[in-house]
Amino acid sequence: MVAPSYRTGSKQDWLKEILTKIAEVLKLQDIPAIQMQIVLLGSAYPDLSEKHVSALLKLKTNLSKADRKIVKTTLSDTLKESRADPGTRKFFSKIKVR
Protein backbone atom coordinates (compact mmCIF):
# COMPACT_ATOMS: atom_id res chain seq x y z
CA MET A 1 0.00 0.00 0.00
CA VAL A 2 1.37 3.42 -0.96
CA ALA A 3 1.01 6.19 1.58
CA PRO A 4 -0.79 9.26 0.29
CA SER A 5 1.46 12.20 -0.36
CA TYR A 6 0.63 15.28 1.67
CA ARG A 7 1.83 18.74 0.90
CA THR A 8 1.96 21.24 3.69
CA GLY A 9 2.07 24.97 3.36
CA SER A 10 0.47 27.43 1.04
CA LYS A 11 -0.12 26.94 -2.64
CA GLN A 12 0.50 30.65 -3.14
CA ASP A 13 3.92 30.70 -4.80
CA TRP A 14 4.27 34.47 -4.38
CA LEU A 15 4.62 33.91 -0.62
CA LYS A 16 8.01 32.27 -1.23
CA GLU A 17 9.25 35.54 -2.70
CA ILE A 18 8.14 37.71 0.21
CA LEU A 19 9.43 35.29 2.82
CA THR A 20 12.79 35.16 1.04
CA LYS A 21 12.96 38.98 1.08
CA ILE A 22 12.10 39.10 4.79
CA ALA A 23 14.75 36.46 5.53
CA GLU A 24 17.30 38.51 3.60
CA VAL A 25 16.60 41.55 5.82
CA LEU A 26 17.15 39.40 8.89
CA LYS A 27 20.39 37.97 7.48
CA LEU A 28 22.01 41.28 6.52
CA GLN A 29 24.30 43.06 8.98
CA ASP A 30 25.30 46.45 7.57
CA ILE A 31 22.89 49.39 7.56
CA PRO A 32 23.19 50.37 3.86
CA ALA A 33 22.41 46.80 2.76
CA ILE A 34 19.46 46.63 5.15
CA GLN A 35 18.20 49.99 3.85
CA MET A 36 18.40 48.75 0.29
CA GLN A 37 16.56 45.52 1.07
CA ILE A 38 13.81 47.35 2.99
CA VAL A 39 13.37 49.78 0.09
CA LEU A 40 13.08 46.85 -2.33
CA LEU A 41 10.56 45.21 -0.02
CA GLY A 42 8.56 48.45 0.27
CA SER A 43 8.63 48.98 -3.48
CA ALA A 44 7.34 45.47 -4.13
CA TYR A 45 4.80 45.66 -1.28
CA PRO A 46 3.73 49.30 -0.79
CA ASP A 47 1.52 48.30 2.13
CA LEU A 48 4.71 47.84 4.19
CA SER A 49 4.38 50.31 7.08
CA GLU A 50 6.90 51.80 9.47
CA LYS A 51 5.35 49.66 12.22
CA HIS A 52 6.06 46.53 10.19
CA VAL A 53 9.63 47.65 9.57
CA SER A 54 10.11 48.41 13.27
CA ALA A 55 8.84 44.98 14.25
CA LEU A 56 11.09 43.30 11.70
CA LEU A 57 14.17 45.29 12.66
CA LYS A 58 13.62 44.70 16.39
CA LEU A 59 14.34 41.05 15.66
CA LYS A 60 17.86 42.16 14.74
CA THR A 61 19.45 42.65 18.15
CA ASN A 62 22.56 44.28 16.68
CA LEU A 63 20.64 47.39 15.51
CA SER A 64 20.27 50.43 17.71
CA LYS A 65 17.12 52.54 17.87
CA ALA A 66 18.95 55.17 15.79
CA ASP A 67 19.82 52.56 13.14
CA ARG A 68 16.18 51.45 12.96
CA LYS A 69 15.09 55.06 12.56
CA ILE A 70 17.52 55.58 9.66
CA VAL A 71 16.11 52.54 7.85
CA LYS A 72 12.50 53.62 8.45
CA THR A 73 13.24 57.15 7.23
CA THR A 74 14.80 55.78 4.05
CA LEU A 75 11.68 53.71 3.41
CA SER A 76 9.36 56.66 4.09
CA ASP A 77 11.29 58.93 1.73
CA THR A 78 11.28 56.30 -1.00
CA LEU A 79 7.57 55.52 -0.70
CA LYS A 80 6.69 59.24 -0.83
CA GLU A 81 8.50 59.52 -4.16
CA SER A 82 6.97 56.44 -5.74
CA ARG A 83 3.42 55.64 -6.65
CA ALA A 84 1.95 52.29 -5.83
CA ASP A 85 0.89 50.13 -8.74
CA PRO A 86 -2.78 49.30 -8.18
CA GLY A 87 -2.03 45.69 -9.13
CA THR A 88 0.53 45.08 -6.38
CA ARG A 89 -0.12 42.32 -3.91
CA LYS A 90 -1.15 43.12 -0.39
CA PHE A 91 0.73 41.27 2.30
CA PHE A 92 1.66 43.52 5.19
CA SER A 93 -1.75 45.18 5.47
CA LYS A 94 -3.06 41.76 6.50
CA ILE A 95 -0.58 41.57 9.39
CA LYS A 96 -1.47 43.40 12.60
CA VAL A 97 1.44 44.96 14.48
CA ARG A 98 1.11 46.29 18.02
- In terms of residue numbers, what domain contains 57? 14-82
pLDDT (0 to 100) of residue 83: 61
> Does the reported pTM lie above 0.85?
no
**Domain assignment present for 3:** no
**pLDDT confidence tier of residue 63, bands split at 50, 70 and 90:** very high
What share of the chain has pLDDT > 70, as a percent?
Answer: 82
Q: Which of 23-27, 42-46, 52-56 has the lowest mean pLDDT?
A: 42-46
pLDDT confidence of residue 7: 59
Per-position b or e across 35-67, b if 16+ CB within 10 A of its CB: bbbbbebbbbbbebbbebbeebbeebeebeeee
**Residue 7 located in a structural domain:** no
Q: Is residue 95 part of a domain?
A: no
Question: Is 50 part of any domain?
Answer: yes
Scanning the chain, the segments in alpha helix (DSSP H) are: 14-27, 31-44, 50-58, 65-81
How many domains in the chain?
1
User: Would 8 be classed as within a structural domain?
Assistant: no
In a domain, residue 94? The reply is no
5 within some domain: no
pLDDT in tens, 84-96: 566 667 788 877 8
Give the whole-angstrom CA distance, residue 42 versus residue 84. Answer: 10
48, 41 contact by CB (below 8 A): yes
